């Protein structure tokens, strides 16, 4: 009498489950890396957008604003230079010693110049990881 068993052995099933687990782990790691890179790219784009609004403000008012706050607008009189200053994306990447990697704006020399400090987790384009500063001269490392 010949037995004709159809199906998989326990070893075969365990091997398939292990392979699926390995592939899903690799996919999750790649996804997290892509998320971090997209947050950093957004931070750099936000800073460049803020710089553009500040330069427009400077051209009209011959100086930079006293304060720029995340989530607020940059307005002078009836002219809106930026409807809402971007808020840094979360979660922070943990490279800098700040709670949420905020964009920090300071002005000096009676509005003649400014510093816009921010932090990115990994090198993005030509901007290095870590704390960086944007000034009227451009973006550079601290």
Structural domain of 134: 10-141
Q: And the tokens for 34?
A: 């892509």
Is residue 1 in a domain? no
pLDDT, tens digit, for every residue of 99-141? 777 899 999 888 899 999 998 888 888 888 888 999 999 887 6
Is residue 17 in a domain? yes
Total structural domains in the chain?
A: 1
| Residue 125 region by backbone torsions, left for phi larger than 0, else alpha for psi between -120 and 50, else beta | left
Whether pLDDT at 55 is above 70: yes
Whether pLDDT at 50 is above 90: yes
Is residue 91 in a domain? yes
Is residue 69 in a domain? yes
**Dist. CA 89–CA 76, nearest whole Å:** 27
Better-scored residue on pLDDT, 36 or 64: 64
The pLDDT of residue 54 is 97
pTM above 0.75, yes or no: yes
Is residue 93 in a domain? yes
């Amino acid at each position: 009498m010949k037995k004709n068993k159809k199906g998989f052995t326990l070893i075969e099933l365990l091997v398939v489950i292990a392979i699926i687990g390995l592939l899903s782990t690799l996919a999750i790691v790649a996804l997290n890396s892509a998320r971090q890179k997209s947050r950093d790219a957004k931070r750099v784009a936000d800073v460049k957008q803020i710089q553009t609004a500040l330069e427009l403000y400077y051209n009209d008012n011959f100086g930079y604003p006293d304060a720029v706050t995340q989530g607020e607008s940059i307005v002078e009189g009836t002219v809106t230079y930026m409807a809402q200053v971007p808020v840094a994306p979360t979660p922070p990447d943990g490279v800098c010693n700040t709670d949420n990697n905020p964009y920090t704006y300071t002005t000096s020399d009676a509005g003649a110049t400014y510093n816009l400090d921010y932090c990115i987790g990994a090198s993005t384009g030509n901007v290095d990881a870590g704390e960086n500063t944007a000034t009227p001269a451009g973006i550079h490392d601290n």
